[in-house]
Amino acid sequence: MNWHYLINELYYQRRRTVISIIGLSIGIAILVILNSLSFAYREAARQPLKEIGADITVQRPGDVPEDLKGVVFPCSAVTIRDDEARKIGSLPGVRGIGKGLLLWVFDPERAWIVLGVEEKNSIGPAVLRSSVTEGRFFEGGRREALVESAYARQFGIKIGDSISIAGRQFSVVGYIDASRAAKIAIANVYISLTEAQGLALSSRNVQSVAPFAQGDVNLLFIKADQERIAEMELSIKDIMGKKTSVATPESFLRLLGSLFALSDKFTMAASLIAILIAVMIAFKTMAGNIAERAREIGVLKAVGWTNRNVVTQLFAESVIQCFIAGLLGLFFAVIVSYGLSFMTVSIPIPWEMSPNPHFLPGGGDQVFKVLRLPVYVPLKLAFFGVFLSIIIGGFTGALLGRHISKIKPSEVLRHE
Amino acid sequence: MSKETILSGTDLIKRYGSLEVVRNVSLSIGAGEFVCLVGKSGCGKTTLLSILSGLEKPTSGQVMLDGKNITEATEDELALFRRDNVGFIFQSFNLIPTLSAWENVALPLFPVKMAGDERRRRASELLEKMELGHRLEHLPAALSGGEKQRVAIARALINKPKVLFADEPTGNLDSATGDAIMEILKNLHTEEGVAILMVTHEVELSKAADRIIRMHDGEVIA
């Protein structure tokens, strides 16, 4: 293979080189962009759960309490027994588990949404520790509470105040602005899980809907191996019953409703079509190029180039062209992906995951998680795009080279 | 023929379907001999030249080139044999349009493991001999017809061939340029001792040859 000959051929036959490169690069760019979009939607669908440090949340829907007084369960989240939580925690693919207890507290003067949070756990609402805007996070063993900052402003609650929740006094130690960080598992007041369990245990309205024992909770947050999430969803329903609400990135993806989000098959089919068209353009251009060079190939063979020499030369030309096309396609894809990353996407939060009582004003409004679509070209996809273009080049070059090397020099050189 | 035989064809027949283009031809060429193959267009001269040079296989018969039976060689063996033993000059030059003059001359050496500088040195030397030392970097499109043919001759000589096959080498040139090219071929024959088999339909050009072989309807008639 002669580099100088190769470079000259590509340089002096600029028109066909450019057509071939542009054709394939567009195909590669479409492939990379479609897959980047698909990844972006998947990543976006992970956000609502990711921001509370989980991959899966588990709730058990229950009945509406007869009497909306004192401490009650939201009807979307009733008791998850401790033994059920343990079984789920031991499922294959579970990396860690966090617990929470969401309660509605209807006191005579005020209604609270109260969330019991584990003090130290990187999974679940304890990650909201970083959302404390003023004061400090509560400490275990003390009756301390964090109040959501907007709620505190609305009702004039200050740090150091004492608030009464279902007749128990809690000292306000800080404000928290969870709404910026998360859309699920948010509340007006955050207390320790143990204190929340104490409230639930002593509530007749809680016990009448779903018996609640020491150690029970009503929210589970699971960190899991990505590839086992679908299988775990089924296992969780086996343990807790078919009606259990299991939220996964897949379930959020379905809510997004985009073609890219809905179907890997769509992305794959569209990518395949783009690549096929691109390959056909590149193949046709290169085939035309090589057919035009039949006489040149005849000369090469006449002056002593073997079939292998000819095929190697054409193969290298094709691979280099397609490699350049791959890089160019990747460049186009990065530019377009950057543009697309300014798009926003609104992910609807299912009503059962919204902590607000739906019968209160504004409680039934659809809650959305709005975020910029995280479109970028993953390194693996970039390598795949370039690698694929090299493979296409190799395949095209080898195929056309083999075909053209069968030319007999006497046949193409005699017709002068 | 005073010298040992470098090229011989025995009972050569070439058929394309039912059409017999070369009919039972036998001939031989001595080392350093200048032979002209003349005849009207379509009489089978180019086909015979292709067979004798190993570009094409005969339907039957045998070709011996420098002691090797090339009719039994595989395609790749033939390619290597051509590279090491023969040179070609074509009517329409057949230069590679994207390569410069010196690169065209060095074309047969591209697949050979050799330093790039050595290739260039050998090509440049030949182009100097052809009085094209000032055109080394020019593409064929920038050369005149005579210059292109001189580049083609230099390419044919790059491997110091034993036999040079020339198919109507002046066919695309005006008479003055054609004469100049014939002068170069004659010099190659007399000074370098290269055997030349030239196909032409111009009787005038054949006068430069040591021997003339006439063809008619696929047969050698004299």
Provide, rounded to the nearest whole percent, the portion of chain A with pLDDT above 90. Answer: 35
Q: Considering the domain boundaries, does residue A242 fall inside one?
A: yes
d(CA B44, CA B27): 14
The answer to whether A413 contacts B55, with C-beta atoms less than 8 Å apart, is: yes
Contact criterion met (CB < 8 Å) for A307 and B84: no
Q: Are A172 and A145 in contact (CB under 8 A)?
A: yes
Question: Residue A65 has what pLDDT?
Answer: 75
Domain count, chain A: 2
CA dist A193 and A96 (Å) reads 17
Query: What is the ipTM for the molecules in this complex?
Result: 0.90
Q: Which pLDDT score is estimated for A261?
A: 59
pLDDT value at B195 more than 80 = yes
A268 and A393 share one domain: yes
Cβ of residue B111 closer than 8 Å to a chain A Cβ? yes
Torsion of CA A205, A206, A208, A209, to 10 degrees: 120
Q: Please say if the pLDDT value at position A82 is more than 50.
A: yes
Separate counts of helices (H) and strands (E) for chain B: 7, 10
Question: Which is nearest to A317 in space by CA: A406, A387, A394?
Answer: A394
Strand partners, B211: B35
Closest residue on chain A to B80 (Cα): A304
Confidence at residue A293, expressed as pLDDT on a 0 to 100 scale: 82
Q: Convert the pLDDT of each residue in B12-21 to its tens digit.
A: 999 988 888 8
Tens digit of each residue's pLDDT (9 = 90 or more) over B175-188:
888 888 888 888 88
End-to-end CA distance of chain B, in Å?
Answer: 15
User: Of the candidates A220, A247, A274, which is a domain's last residue?
Assistant: A247
Cβ neighbourhood burial of A347 (10 Å; 0-12, 13-18, 19+)? buried
pLDDT band at A292 (very low <50, low <70, confident <90, very high): confident
Asked, for residue A407, whether it belongs to a domain, the answer is yes
Based on the domain organization, do A38 and A61 belong to the same domain? no
Chain A residues closer than 8 Å to B90 by CB: 413, 416
Question: What SS3 class is residue A78?
Answer: coil
Q: Quick count: other Cβ atoms within 10 Å of Cβ B162?
A: 18
Looking at residue A353, what is its pLDDT?
Answer: 67
pLDDT of residue A191: 93
Residues A286 and A381 occupy one common structural domain = yes
- Judged by average pLDDT, the poorest of A36-50, A134-148, B79-93, B94-108 is A36-50
Q: What residues contact residue B100 under an 8 Å CB cut-off, 6+ apart?
A: B136, B137, B138, B139
Residue B210 pLDDT more than 90?
A: no
Domain that holds residue A79: 56-247
CB B101 within 8 A of CB B132: yes
Based on the fold, state whether residues A265 and A229 are members of the same structural domain: no
Q: DSSP per residue over A142-171, as a string? A: S-EEEEEHHHHHHHT--TT-EEEETTEEEE
Question: Chain B 139-168, CB below 8 Å of chain A: which residues?
Answer: 139, 155, 159, 168
Average pLDDT for A21-50: 87
Higher pLDDT, A367 or A375: A375
Domain C-terminal end among A247, A269, A295: A247
* CB of A317 less than 8 A from some CB of B: no
At A358, the pLDDT band (50, 70, 90 cuts) reads low
Mean predicted lDDT score pLDDT of chain B = 88
Distance from CA of B215 to the nearest CA of A (A): 17
Average pLDDT, chain A: 85
Q: What is the pLDDT of residue A339?
A: 94
Within this chain, do residues A174 and A28 fall inside the same structural domain, yes or no? no
Poorest-confidence range of A25-34, A150-159, A392-401? A392-401
Residue keyed to tokens 């002096």:
A12
Q: A12 and chain B: CB distance < 8 Å anywhere?
A: yes
Residue A220 lies in a domain: yes
Q: Are residues A308 and A203 in the same domain?
A: no
Put simply, the answer to whether A304 touches B80 (Cβ < 8 Å) is: yes
**Token pair of B20, please?**
């017999």
Instruction: Give tens-digit pLDDT for A217-248.
Output: 999 999 999 888 889 999 999 999 988 989 88
Is residue A281 assigned to a domain? yes
Report chain A residues whose CB lies below 8 A from the CB of B56. Answer: 408, 410
Of residues B34, B195, B164, B150, the one with CA closest to residue B87: B164
A150: how many CB neighbours lie within 10 A of its CB? 12
Domain boundary among A224, A247, A270: A247
Where is average pLDDT lowest: A38-47, A50-59, A399-408, B209-218? A399-408
Query: A239 lies in a domain?
Result: yes
> Per the structure block, which two tokens stand in for B6?
């470098």
Closest chain A CA to residue B96: A296
From chain A, the residues in CB contact with B91 under 8 A are 416
* Predicted local distance difference test score (pLDDT) of residue A344: 87
Residue A316 and residue A192 share a domain = no
pLDDT band at A170 (very low <50, low <70, confident <90, very high): very high
CB contact (8 A) between residue A2 and residue B110: yes
Q: What is the pLDDT of residue A3?
A: 83
Q: Could you tell me if A285 and A205 lie in one domain?
A: no
Q: Report chain A residues whose CB lies below 8 A from the CB of B50.
A: 410, 414
Rg (CA), chain B: 17
In a domain, A318, yes or no: yes
Instruction: Check pLDDT > 80 for residue A349.
Output: no
Q: With cut-offs at 50, 70 and 90, classify the pLDDT of residue A46.
A: confident
Question: Do A156 and A229 reside in the same domain of the chain?
Answer: yes
What is the rounded distance in angstroms from the CA atom of residue A194 to the CA atom of residue A120? Answer: 12
In terms of domains, do A156 and A68 share one?
Answer: yes
* A109 touching B (Cβ < 8 Å): no
What are the E-state strand segments in chain B?
Answer: 5-16, 19-30, 34-38, 60-65, 68-69, 86-89, 163-167, 195-200, 211-216, 219-220
Residues B43, B168: contact at Cβ < 8 Å?
Answer: no
Q: Phi first, then psi: what are they for A205, rounded to 5°?
A: -65, -35
Instruction: Confirm if A331 and A377 have CB atoms less than 8 A apart.
Output: no
Asked whether residue A40 is domain-assigned, the answer is yes
How far is A319 from chain B, CA to nearest CA, in Å?
19
Digit-coded pLDDT (tens) for B83-113: 888 999 888 888 999 999 999 999 999 888 8
Q: How does strand A168-176 pair with strand A162-165?
A: antiparallel
Contacting residues for A183 by C-beta, under 8 A, at least 6 apart? A48, A51, A349, A354, A367, A368, A369
CA of A3 vs chain B CAs: smallest distance (Å): 10
> Assign residue A258 a region: left if phi > 0, alpha if psi is -120 to 50, beta otherwise?
beta
How many Cβ atoms from other residues are within 10 Å of residue B40's Cβ? 11
Same domain, A287 and A241: no
Q: Is the pLDDT of residue A37 over 70?
A: yes
| Measured CA distances, B70 to A311, B49, B145, B195 (Å) | 23, 14, 33, 18
Q: What are phi and psi of B62, to 5 degrees?
A: -140, 140
Strand B195-200 to B163-167 pairing: parallel
Give the other-Cβ count within 10 Å of A123's Cβ: 20
**pLDDT of A415 over the 60 cut:** no
Residue to mutate among A7, A10, A296, A299, with most B CBs inside 10 A, is A299
Which position has the token pair 């090219």?
A: B181
Residues A240 and A149 in one domain: yes
- Cα angle A15, A20, A24; round to 5: 150
A18 in a structural domain: yes
Q: Which residue of A has its CA nearest to B161?
A: A303
Say which range, A350-359, A387-396, B131-140, B200-209, has the weakest mean pLDDT.
A350-359
For residue A258, pLDDT beyond 70: no
Residue B160: name the closest of B122, B131, B187 by CA. B122
Domains of chain B, earliest start first = 5-220 (3.40.50.300)
Q: What is the pLDDT of residue B1?
A: 43
Prediction pTM value: 0.74
